[in-house]
Amino acid sequence: MPDRNYFIRSFARLGRELDGFAGQAEFSALSYEVAKQNPFFTRAMQEYALRAIAEKFLTEKALEKLLGYVPLDFPKDRKVGLIMAGNVPAVGFHDLLCTLCLGARAYVKLSSKDSLILPAIVGLLGKIAPEISARIFMEGGPFSRSGLLFGGQKMDFLLFSGSDSTKSLLKDEFPGVPMLARGSRFSLGVLSGKEDTSQLELLAQDMFLYCGMGCRSISYLFVPKGFDLQRLVNASSCMKRQLEEIGPYMSNYRRLRAIAQIEGRIGSSSDMGGFIDGGFFLLERSAQPFPPTGCVRFNFYDDFLQVEQFCRTHRDKIQKKYTNFGIAQLPDTDDWTDGINTVEALTAGCTAKD
């Protein structure tokens, strides 16, 4: 593993740099280019993501906690291939941090939807800790069965979030290489019915901060029977202006609303498949998770056993269940994706043949 004190000092300083980065002219130029590349990533979303990284991952306390999972005898110069998702700004940073805390080399395949933010972060790191940033190798371009991923080098471990088809491609390109593959997941919120307006506004943030994208965004709700859903619609207006600025999001919402209107399903929320129009999103009563962009699905419950049964049915697809709101996009450094300890998975995979 790298020198513990140097690692903590370096990344804690990076955290302070990121926390102030959003107010600098350099960030303004970067955020403009990022939004051109991916119109779903507004400046506000980028700023929130960077500050969340600084606050939750890059404090001395968080870094101490992360290093507590690192074995002292981890072998040097292991190569870890990281294939980044592009649904939330810099969403793959935590995977990169976990790789670097082991002292491994990180070979990063950037998403075509988010290929600018992570290099900017690594650029800041290079000014603080060039010895660490020198172990990061990044590449862009479309992902395909090219035989040239990571420069054709053999990896000791692969870490990615993606589809089953991506997993199949990687198995063919890197036969015998251990990997941690993460598929599609969703998060749900469970309302007690006693939430006040401020709590419902925090729920709206958890639902819409990243347009509902990412496994931690709440895209499914359980509400007690008799709950006035208009209260949620009204509270969600706090996010309306931000989402109205995003053309592709609003186009998708309008398309869904037009189809629902043609089918006569707007206003029939007491029935399965019925919708409530929130003005910039649809609430759809459904027993199935994974709604399209521009829609949040829900169902009523009169017994908490119904919620527990739903969770059992979808246990392999649920990222998180929230009963307190405003924290979905602020995971702690050991709030592992899919509940799998990333450092332990990397350690086991990279030492499997030793």
Task: Over range 52-59, report the average pLDDT.
Answer: 97
Rounded to the nearest integer, the mean pLDDT of the chain is 93
Q: Which residue type does 63 have?
A: L
The pLDDT value recorded for residue 353 is: 65
Q: List residues bridging with 187 in a β-sheet.
A: 218
CB of 210 closer than 8 Å to CB of 87: yes
Question: pLDDT class for 143, splitting at 50, 70, 90?
Answer: low
In angstroms, the CA 225 to CA 97 distance is 44
Q: Which tops the pLDDT comparison, 151 or 218? A: 218
- pLDDT tens-place string over residues 4-21: 999 999 999 999 999 888
d(CA 108, CA 128): 20
pTM recorded for the entire structure:
0.94
Residue percentage of the chain with pLDDT more than 90: 81
pLDDT digits (tens, 9 = 90+) for 79-130: 999 999 999 999 999 999 999 999 999 999 999 999 999 999 999 999 999 9
SS3 88: coil
Q: How many CB atoms lie within 10 A of CB 27?
A: 19
Beta-carbon count within 10 A of 306 CB: 14
CA separation for the pair 162, 114 (Å, rounded): 14
Residue pLDDT, tens place only, 165-176? 777 778 887 888
97's tokens: 């941090």
> Tokens at residue 299, please?
């169902």
Q: What is the mean pLDDT of residues 154-168?
A: 83
Given pLDDT bands bounded at 50, 70 and 90, which one contains residue 150? confident
Element (H, E) at 159: strand 157-161
